[in-house]
């Protein structure tokens, strides 16, 4: 005869939750990394801190992020994507809900193609797009 179901309980370390959040964040579209000051980067290499990422455990799991985002992507969409990815990974791995996710965008990172071009200034006497349109010529 089966016995009554027992309450199961597991303990999860703060580092395990931090790793889940870090993985979900870096896997999100448009995120190029965590923002940090130079001395925080040194402490990260020593394994003492994870810059740009704070996890508070309590009745709810609260997450604070300082991110850098790729130039040219919609920042609001990146933030929604990160929020959704964090909530999904915590819910799936731990069966708990996330209370608050606070995302700070601390910078934009330009990709390998370089910075976007500055405003294009036509040279004097050159035909521009408006000149062609005003001429009445059909262009296919």
The domain limits of the chain are 14-111
Q: Does the structural domain 14-111 have CATH classification 3.40.50.300?
A: no
pLDDT in tens, 39-59: 777 776 777 777 889 999 988
Give the dihedral of Cα atoms 70, 14, 39, 47; nearest 10 deg: -100
Tell me the backbone φ, ψ of residue 30, rounded to 5 degrees: 90, -15
pLDDT in tens, 106-129: 888 886 655 655 555 555 565 555
Short-list 86, 82, 38, 31, CA closest to 60: 86
pTM over 0.75: no
Contact 54, 21 (CB under 8 A): no
């Amino acid at each position: 005869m089966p016995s009554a179901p027992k309450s199961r309980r597991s303990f999860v370390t703060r580092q395990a939750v931090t790793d889940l959040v870090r993985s979900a964040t870096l896997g999100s579209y448009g995120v190029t990394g965590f923002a940090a000051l130079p001395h925080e980067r040194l402490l990260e290499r020593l394994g003492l801190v994870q810059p740009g990422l704070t996890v508070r455990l309590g009745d709810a799991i609260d997450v604070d992020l300082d991110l850098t985002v790729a130039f040219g992507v919609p920042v609001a969409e990146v933030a929604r994507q990160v929020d959704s990815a964090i909530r999904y990974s915590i819910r799936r791995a731990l069966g708990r809900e996330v209370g608050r996710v606070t995302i700070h965008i601390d910078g934009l990172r330009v990709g390998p193609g370089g910075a976007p071009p500055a405003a294009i200034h036509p040279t004097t006497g050159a035909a521009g797009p408006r000149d062609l349109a005003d001429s009445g010529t059909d262009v296919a």
